[in-house]
Amino acid sequence: MKIIPLGIWGGYPKANSATSSFLIEHDGFHCLVDCGSGVLAALQNHITLEQLDAVMISHYHADHIADIGSLQYSRLIQYYLGQPSPVLPIYGHAQDEEQFSKLTYKEQTRGVEISEDQSVQIGPFTVTFCPTVHPVYCLAMKFTVADKSVVFTADTEWSDQLVSFTQQTNLLFSEANLYEEHIGKSPGHLGGSQAGKLAHDARVGQLVLTHLPHHGNIQDILYAAKTVFSGPTELAEVGKLYTL
């Protein structure tokens, strides 16, 4: 299993970058995890858009779905050019029916419903879900192949349920959108120390911090996580290859 961060920012991208998202690949099957602003441009540093086999959406905030429309246009344009691709499945929850309906587009993409209590098989990946604590309904995701797994928290506040869900995963991509002084003051997100506590309590193999803020010194968030979790910990780096 290979995972590449495509973007690391919360809310909106910095210049020439993207909001938090990932490309995950195994046996030639490529799945995009979240599709926010700038993600399509970043994705094409690694594969062509036609090579994409599936998309997984955690929730419907703009920094996780902003590029879905452009992805749908890319399939439609290739269709008009006489090079149609198979219908692209986009997995998302249906708690927000209007947003879920937008995942289906002109026989180019098809929305596929996911729910917190049902695992799905996506190519070689078994994917399970855990609801997070966020202003809108959002699902954390665990991708498993054989005895290896990776968890993406998506957006969340502290959640004991997430500790159980993340238990002993090999690799945890945790959001860490807050500086310590902002914990509890900005709903729906974690601070670095809380991401570290999640990694510690769940006894994960490695912690990578993402969905980072635009202000301040993000090294402070890394430092806060490392004070709680003693395992390998780093800030997500765009384009870096993680192999499990």
Q: Which residues bind Zn ion (CB under 5 A)?
A: 61, 155
26 vs 61, beta carbon nearer Zn ion? 61
Question: Of the two residues 25 and 175, which places its CB atom closer to Zn ion in the complex?
Answer: 175
- List, in sequence order, the alpha helices (H) in 60-202: 62-65, 68-80, 97-101, 160-166, 192-201
Amino acid at 134: H
* Closest to 4 in 3D by CA, of 27, 30, 28: 30
Q: Are 142 and 173 in contact (CB under 8 A)?
A: no
3-state secondary structure of 38: coil
User: From the CB of 197, what's the least distance to Zn ion, in Å?
Assistant: 21
CB of 156 to Zn ion, least distance (A): 9
Q: How wide is the angle at C-alpha 193 spanned by C-alphas 2 and 16, nearest 5°? A: 50
Cβ closest to Zn ion, residue 118 vs residue 186: 186
CB of 64 to Zn ion, least distance (A): 6
1 or 176: CB nearest Zn ion: 176
Shortest spacing between CB 62 and Zn ion, in angstroms: 9
